[in-house]
C-alpha cells in the first residue's frame, strides 16, 4: 500500500535552491519551458529547470519497480527504514536497470533508452518535488548517470504536494497513451490496488487504466490470489515467494481466471482443484499451451492421479478462502484439500529454490531442487498424456466436424440454387459438373465409412444403401 516517507536529507537547503532557480527562469524573460501535470482533474503547467543529478533522489514509492523491490528482502527492508541512504538509492538504481521479469538480468529496454539519450539527448523533462525526489524520469536519471551527465531537465511540482499527490501524478503520467514504457504487469496490479484503497470505484479505476470493469475485477482477483500464494509459500524461517516471481505469468493467470469463473457456478470443487493444479503448473514454468491441457477433461481422464497429490500429510482444511472477496466457505471435499496440500508443498519448495539467500544451506537447497525436479517431471508426464488424449479426441472429432461443415455448405447451396433459378441465372453445366464431383466424393466416403463396421448406424447404413443403389444402375 502507499506510504509516507520522511523528507530527504538537506531537504530545506535543496528546496531553497529549487525555488531560486524557478524564480530565475520566471524573471529571465524569453521563452520558458513548462511541463503539463494532471492533478485533481485539472492541468497544471510547472516550470522546467536544470538540476544537478547528484542532488536528485530516486522515488522509493515509484510504481515502476514496486514488485521488483521484493528481489532482495534484506535490502528492501533497509530501503523502507531509510530510503535516502546511499545503499537504498543504489538498490533502487539497480532495480531501475533490471529486467522486470528477471531482476538478475539487465533490462534490454534500459540500454535502448540509454543509447537514445546518448544519441539524441534528453527530449522530455522529468518531474521532481521541491525536495529533489524524482516523480517521473527515474529510469532516465539512472541512464543519464551511467552516461556521466551532470544535470537533468525537470519540471518542479508545487511545494504543497503530498505523497498522495505525488503518487497520483506519477500514475496519471504513466497512463497517458503516448507514454513510452509501460509498467510491468504486477506493478499495474499494485497501482490498481492502491487506487481502490483510496476509495475510488471500479468504474473510475477501469476508466483511468483504459480497461473494462470486468477486466479490473479479474486483475484484482489475480493479485489477491498471488498474495495468498506468497503467504502460503512461507517456510519456517519466514522466507517465501515474492511478487516479482509472478512477472511473466500474465496470460496464464488471466486464462486461469476465465476457467475458474466458468466452472465455479457449476462445480466449485472442480474449479478449486483445477485452480490449484494450474497455479502449480504456472509456478513450474510450463507454457501457456501446456497449462491449457489442465482442464475439465484432465480431471475426467483421472490424469491428476499421476501427480504427487496427497503426498504430504495435511489435515483437511475447515474452510477455503475466496480470493478478492475476503470470505471463507467450508471446504467441500478431500480432493480440494489434497490439491491445496500438494500446491503448498510446491509453493514452499519454489520459495527455497528461488531464494538466493546464503543462509539457507547447500543441503537444504539441494533437497528442494530434487523435489522441484521430480515434481516437474510428474507434471510433465501428466500434461504430455493429456496432450496425447486431446490430439486423439481431435482426430476422432475431425471427420464428423468436416461432414457437418459440408452439410452447412449444401444447405447454403440449396438457397443459392433457388435464388439462381428464380432470377434465371443458374449455370446449369457448371452445376451439373459440381454434382458429379459430389457423387464421387460420396462414393469415396462410403467406402471408408463402411470399413470395420459390422453394425453401422442409421446414417452410415443410408449412405451404403445409396451407394449400392448407384452401383446397380
Q: Is 113 helix (H, G, I), strand (E, B) or coil?
A: helix
Residues of the chain by 3-state class (helix, strand, coil), percent to 5: 60, 10, 30
Grid look-up 539512472 returns: 142
Q: What pLDDT sits at residue 236?
A: 65
pLDDT band for 359, please (50, 70, 90 cuts): low
Res 388 pLDDT > 80: yes
**Residue 62 grid cell:** 515509484
Q: Specify the pLDDT at position 357.
A: 59
> What distance lies between CA 422 and its chain's CA centroid?
57
- For 276-304, what is the mean pLDDT? 91
Provide the grid cell at 352: 527455497
118 and 149 in contact (C-beta within 8 Å)? no
Residue 159 bridge partners (DSSP): none
The predicted structure's pLDDT at residue 119: 92
Nearest CA-CA partner of 390 in 256, 277, 310, 294: 294
Of 25, 48, 44, 51, give the one whose Cα is nearest residue 132: 51
Q: What is the pLDDT of residue 404?
A: 86
pLDDT recorded at residue 324: 52
- Does 311 score more than 70 pLDDT? no
| Per-residue pLDDT at 315 exceeds 60 | no
- Please tell me the predicted confidence (pLDDT) of residue 327: 54
| pLDDT score of 312 | 43
Q: Above pLDDT 70, what percent of the chain?
A: 89
Tell me, rounded to whole angstroms, the distance of Cα 463 from its chain centroid: 52
pLDDT at 333: 64
Contact 247/221 with Cβ under 8 angstroms? no
Question: 473 pLDDT band (50/70/90 cuts)?
Answer: low
- pLDDT-derived band at 358, boundaries 50, 70, 90: low
Q: Select from 119, 98, 101 the least CA-distant residue to 109.
A: 98
Question: According to the model, what pLDDT value does residue 179 have?
Answer: 46
pLDDT confidence band for 5 (50 / 70 / 90): confident
**Residue 160 near residue 131 (C-beta atoms within 8 A):** no
DSSP string of 248-290, one letter each residue: T-HHHHHHHHHHHHHHHTT-HHHHHHHHHHHHHHHHTT--HHH
Comparing 203 with 310, the larger pLDDT belongs to 203
Cell numbers at residue 434, please?
Answer: 459440381
Residues 6+ apart with CB under 8 A from 92: 58, 59, 60, 65, 79, 83, 138
Query: So what's the pLDDT on residue 165?
Result: 84
Confidence of residue 217 (pLDDT cuts 50, 70, 90): very high
Residue 142 near residue 97, CB atoms below 8 Å: yes
Neighbours of 322 (CB within 10 A): 15
Q: What is the pLDDT of residues 406-463, one digit of tens each?
A: 888 999 999 999 998 889 898 989 998 999 899 888 888 888 887 877 777 888 888 8
Alpha helix stretches (DSSP H) within 147-287: 163-174, 185-197, 202-208, 213-232, 250-264, 268-283
% residues pLDDT > 90 (the chain):
47
Give CB contacts under 8 A, 24+ apart, made by 433-442.
439/470, 442/466, 442/467
CB 95 within 8 A of CB 87: no
* Grid cell for residue 183: 509498467
Whether the pLDDT of residue 395 is over 80: the answer is: no
| Residue 261 confidence (pLDDT) above 70 | yes
Q: What is the mean pLDDT of the chain?
A: 86
Q: pLDDT, tens digit, for every residue of 98-140?
A: 999 899 999 999 999 999 999 999 988 999 999 999 999 999 9
Number of other residues whose CB lies within 10 A of the CB of residue 146: 15
| Better pLDDT: 202 or 330 | 202
Mean pLDDT of 347-351: 92
Nearest Cα to Cα of residue 168 among 203, 214, 208, 211 = 208
Give the C-alpha separation, 149 to 54, whole Å: 10
* pLDDT given at position 186: 94
> Facing residues of 37 across strands?
44
Per-residue pLDDT of 158-210, as tens digits, reads: 888 888 888 888 887 877 654 455 678 999 999 999 889 888 899 999 988 88
Rounded CA-CA distance 68/244 in Å is 5
Helix H or strand E segment including 369: helix 362-422
Q: Is the pTM of this model over 0.85?
A: no
Q: Cα separation of 278 and 253, whole Å?
A: 9
Q: Provide the pLDDT for residue 2.
A: 54
Range 83-103 average pLDDT: 95
Amino acid at each position: 500500500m502507499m506510504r509516507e516517507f520522511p523528507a530527504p536529507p538537506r531537504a530545506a537547503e535543496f528546496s531553497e535552491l529549487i525555488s531560486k532557480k524557478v524564480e530565475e527562469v520566471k524573471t529571465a524573460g524569453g521563452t520558458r519551458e513548462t511541463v503539463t501535470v494532471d492533478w485533481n482533474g485539472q492541468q497544471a503547467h510547472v516550470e522546467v529547470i536544470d538540476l544537478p543529478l547528484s542532488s536528485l533522489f530516486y522515488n522509493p514509492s515509484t510504481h515502476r519497480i514496486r514488485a521488483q523491490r521484493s528481489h532482495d528482502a534484506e535490502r528492501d527492508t533497509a530501503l523502507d527504514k531509510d530510503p535516502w541512504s546511499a545503499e537504498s538509492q543504489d538498490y533502487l538504481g539497480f532495480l531501475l536497470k533490471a529486467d522486470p521479469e528477471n531482476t538478475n538480468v539487465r533490462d534490454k529496454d534500459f540500454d535502448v533508452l540509454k543509447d537514445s539519450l546518448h544519441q539524441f539527448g534528453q527530449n522530455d523533462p522529468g518531474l521532481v518535488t521541491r525536495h529533489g525526489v524524482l516523480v517521473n524520469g527515474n529510469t532516465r536519471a539512472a541512464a543519464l548517470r551511467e552516461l556521466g551527465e551532470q544535470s537533468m531537465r525537470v519540471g518542479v511540482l508545487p511545494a504543497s504536494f503530498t505523497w498522495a499527490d505525488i503518487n497520483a501524478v506519477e500514475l496519471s503520467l504513466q497512463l497517458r497513451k503516448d507514454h513510452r514504457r509501460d509498467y510491468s504487469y504486477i506493478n499495474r496490479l499494485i497501482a490498481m490496488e492502491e487506487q481502490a484503497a483510496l476509495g475510488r470505484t471500479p468504474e473510475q479505476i477501469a476508466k483511468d487504466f483504459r480497461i473494462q470493469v470486468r477486466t479490473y475485477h479479474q486483475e484484482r482477483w489475480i493479485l489477491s490470489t498471488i498474495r495468498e500464494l506468497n503467504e502460503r509459500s512461507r517456510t519456517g524461517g519466514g522466507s517465501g515467494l515474492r511478487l516479482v516471481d509472478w512477472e511473466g505469468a500474465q496470460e496464464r493467470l488471466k486464462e486461469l481466471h476465465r476457467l475458474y469463473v466458468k466452472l465455479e457456478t457449476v462445480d466449485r470443487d472442480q474449479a478449486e482443484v483445477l485452480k490449484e493444479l494450474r497455479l502449480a503448473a504456472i509456478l513450474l514454468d510450463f507454457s501457456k499451451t501446456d497449462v491449457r491441457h489442465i482442464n475439465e477433461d484432465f480431471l475426467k481422464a483421472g490424469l491428476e492421479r499421476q501427480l504427487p497429490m496427497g503426498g504430504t500429510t495435511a489435515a483437511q482444511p475447515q474452510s477455503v478462502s475466496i480470493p478478492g472477496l475476503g470470505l471463507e466457505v467450508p471446504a467441500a471435499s478431500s480432493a480440494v484439500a489434497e490439491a491445496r496440500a500438494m500446491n503448498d508443498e510446491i509453493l514452499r519448495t519454489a520459495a527455497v529454490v528461488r531464494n538466493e539467500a546464503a543462509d539457507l544451506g547447500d543441503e537444504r537447497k539441494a533437497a528442494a531442487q530434487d523435489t522441484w525436479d521430480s515434481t516437474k517431471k510428474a507434471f510433465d508426464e501428466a500434461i504430455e498424456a493429456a496432450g496425447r488424449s486431446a490430439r486423439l479426441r481431435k482426430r476422432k472429432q475431425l471427420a464428423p466436424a468436416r461432414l457437418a461443415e459440408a452439410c452447412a455448405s449444401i444447405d447454403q447451396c440449396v438457397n443459392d440454387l433457388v435464388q439462381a433459378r428464380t432470377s434465371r441465372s443458374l449455370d446449369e453445366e457448371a452445376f451439373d459438373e459440381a454434382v458429379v464431383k459430389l457423387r464421387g466424393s460420396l462414393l469415396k466416403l462410403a467406402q471408408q465409412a463402411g470399413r470395420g463396421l459390422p453394425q453401422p448406424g442409421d446414417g452410415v447404413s443410408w449412405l451404403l444403401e445409396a451407394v449400392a443403389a448407384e452401383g446397380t444402375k
